[in-house]
Amino acid sequence: MKIIYALLLCAFVSVVGQVFAQLDRSEVLSDVRAFEVSACKPSKNSLVTVWMEKRPSRKDNSGEAADMQVAYRASENNGRTWSAKGIIDLPNTFGTGNPFVCNNQKGDTYVVCMHIGQDFFSGNISLYEFDFDTKVFNLKSVPIKSSDNLLDKPSIVCHGDEIHLVYVAYTKNFRNAVKYQVSKDKGATWTEPINVFTDQTITYLGPAMALVKGNQLLISAGSYGSKGIFLTRRIADDEKVRFDTAKVVGSISQKLGSAMTELTTRGNDLLLSWQNPHQRNEVWLSMSRNAGESWSSPHLITSTGNLLSTAFGNDGGIHCIYSDFIDQKFSVNYRALNDNYSVAKEMYLAKPIVSNTFKEYLGAYQKLLVQNKELFAFWIDYPNNSTLKFTKWEL
């Protein structure tokens, strides 16, 4: 009996050791301080990732968002090798940031980002298309520009020739509105911006979009001041672009204070998460299995983390990565969750390490992708100069 137990124990330790060794084998995609990362899978074997990083002129340990640029790399073999790093930026600007990358069913890949003018409340949102031959993002169009608004947190979803764009426009008195535009010709031309939410007394934060079956568009947004987590859907109307009355699908705790959102979809399954950008605080998750008609009770992932990214597996299972800062220790965690949010599996991408300094501007996004039984994680190693890392493993 003791021999059998010893053999089983050795087998268990061997398997666990292999799994953790695999997750520990991360690759550095950029050793320049990174702050936010987005990624997509245009095809079975390809990956494209974009991120916000410091310009060479930026001083480290700065709590400000100035002097940023967008960088990107691509892989044609699921991350075994990567193209050289490319840069998206404009001269004589406050910064370039908030990149979000997306592809359609054919693999056409686009990134949207904000260019902040020399005056903080000015600039534009630009769309770039990826050339897979040259591995370069080329400017496609400028959907919106402004001389008196900060255009923040752009996000896109793509379907066929359509590209949907959402962002927040801030005035100088810090009032804002969530704006929506759509292109039906792959980003060549755009509709005029409209307000997504009718209640303009709320100061919104961090909108996100998702397409469910039937090409129905959903938009979520958080808010400042614990006003709530909001969700609306575009009304099918060939004559006019309009949205349904928003409903509150989650609350923002007093501890959290303010929250931005992220939406993940698979068919009619949706994951809606919210967290306070750039802060170590509560991270929440809710799920819908009926295209957003109803939602589960919110689940607290952690009370001391940020940079949550979620994804559905092929079987509908929930996967997520997030950064945590427990007891002055930093880690990047992976979890597989059941429908009741019980933890089916939990591992480290970055094991806990003491980090007593949290002065640098924290990012807002990491990214997890799932394809069949393979997982692809793009994450930020905060104590190690906020290095951008890539980890790939199998379930």
The predicted structure's pLDDT at residue 140: 98
**Structural domain boundaries enclosing 140:** 31-163+184-193
Q: Average pLDDT for residues 59-88, to the nearest whole number?
A: 91
User: Angle at CA 219, nearest 5°, toward 362 and 317?
Assistant: 75
Element (H, E) at 83: none
Contact 333, 346 (CB under 8 A): yes
Give a yes or no: residue 276 inside a domain: yes
The predicted structure's pLDDT at residue 5: 38
Give a yes or no: residue 231 inside a domain: yes
Interacting residues of 364 by C-beta distance below 8 A, sequence separation 6+: 35, 36, 206, 260, 277, 278, 306, 307
Q: Identify which has the larger pLDDT, 138 or 65.
A: 138
> How many other CB atoms are found less than 10 A from the CB of residue 67?
16
If DSSP codes are grouped into helix, strand and coil, which group holds residue 20?
A: helix
Contact 382, 330 (CB under 8 A): yes
Element (H, E) at 26: none
- Quickly state the pLDDT bin for 60 (edges 50, 70, 90): confident
Q: Mean of the per-residue pLDDT values for the chain?
A: 91
pTM metric for this prediction: 0.92
308 and 262 within one domain:
yes
What does the DSSP assignment read for 224-264? SSS--EEEEEB---SS---BPPPEEEE---TTT--BEEEEE
Q: Looking at residue 266, which CATH number applies to its domain?
A: 2.120.10.10
Give a yes or no: residue 17 inside a domain: no
Number of domains the chain is built from? 2
- Res 385 pLDDT > 60: yes
- Res 254 pLDDT > 90: yes
- Res 1 pLDDT > 50: no
Give a yes or no: residue 242 inside a domain: yes
Q: Average pLDDT for residues 347-376, to the nearest whole number?
A: 89
204 and 188 within one domain:
no
The predicted structure's pLDDT at residue 59: 77
The predicted structure's pLDDT at residue 174: 79
Contact 308, 324 (CB under 8 A): no
230 and 128 within one domain:
no
Give a yes or no: residue 173 inside a domain: no
Give a yes or no: residue 168 inside a domain: no
117 and 42 within one domain:
yes
- Res 11 pLDDT > 50: no
362 and 295 within one domain:
yes
Q: Average pLDDT for residues 310-338, to the nearest whole number?
A: 95
338 and 206 within one domain:
yes
β-strand partners of 182: 164
102 and 206 within one domain:
no
Measured in whole angstroms, how far is the alpha carbon of residue 113 from the centre of its chain?
13
- What is the tens place of the pLDDT at every residue in 198-239? 998 999 999 999 999 888 999 999 999 989 999 999 997 767
Residue whose C-alpha is closest to residue 65's, from 112, 123, 145, 111: 123
- What is the tens place of the pLDDT at every residue in 286-306? 999 999 999 999 999 999 999
Q: How far apart are CA 339 and CA 93, in angstroms?
A: 46
Give a yes or no: residue 24 inside a domain: no
The predicted structure's pLDDT at residue 23: 64
Contact 20, 345 (CB under 8 A): no
User: Angle at CA 50, nearest 5°, toward 338 and 19?
Assistant: 40
Give a yes or no: residue 23 inside a domain: no
Q: Average pLDDT for residues 91-115, to the nearest whole number?
A: 97
